[in-house]
Homo-oligomer: A and B are copies of this chain.
Amino acid sequence: MNIGAAAEASGVSAKMIRYYEEIGLMKAARRANGYRDYGTREIHELRFIGRARSLGFSMEEIAALVSLWRDSGRPSREVRRIAAEHLAQLEIRAAEIQSMTQALRGMVRACHGDDRPDCPILDDLSQSARRKAALKSAQ
């Protein structure tokens, strides 16, 4: 199977397949004409990588996961450790986004958003410390 068909079959773009090979994540057999050749095993691997990417794992983490996956005697502890670590990172990012979202939602709600120039959003951005203090003391 050529790289285009492998991309189609795995849902991973040809560009990315070459990149994964370049960083040592997988190797592809070559035909006499220099074309890469993929079989069901490789497609399976590409799908594995694609799913791990869709869960937000980094290439470094995926390299570790793939290597554990290939090793039939691996301890599941290792796999779990990587996944739990990534989950913790995701939770941190979620918390960051939530704090941004909350602040921004308050600003957007407070802004009338019409022709007039006065704007709580710009006020917040230019002197949020003062405004926050004012809000706190008003509570």
Contact = CB atoms under 8 A, between A and B. Distances in A.
A16 interface: no
Contacts of A80: 108, 111-113, 119, 121
Contacts of A36: none
B125 A65 contact: yes
A75 interface: yes
A44 B113 CA distance: 24
B93 A97 contact: yes
- Identical subunits present: 2
A77 B115 CA distance: 6
Count class of interface residues, chain A:
35 or more
A69 B122 contact: yes
A119 B51 contact: no
Scoring A52, A87, A98 by chain B CB atoms within 10 A of each residue's CB, the highest score goes to: A87
A104 B88 CA distance: 10
Interface of A: 44, 47-48, 51-52, 54-56, 65, 68-69, 72-77, 79-81, 83-84, 86-87, 90-91, 93-94, 97-98, 100-101, 103-105, 107-108, 111-119, 121-122, 124-126, 128
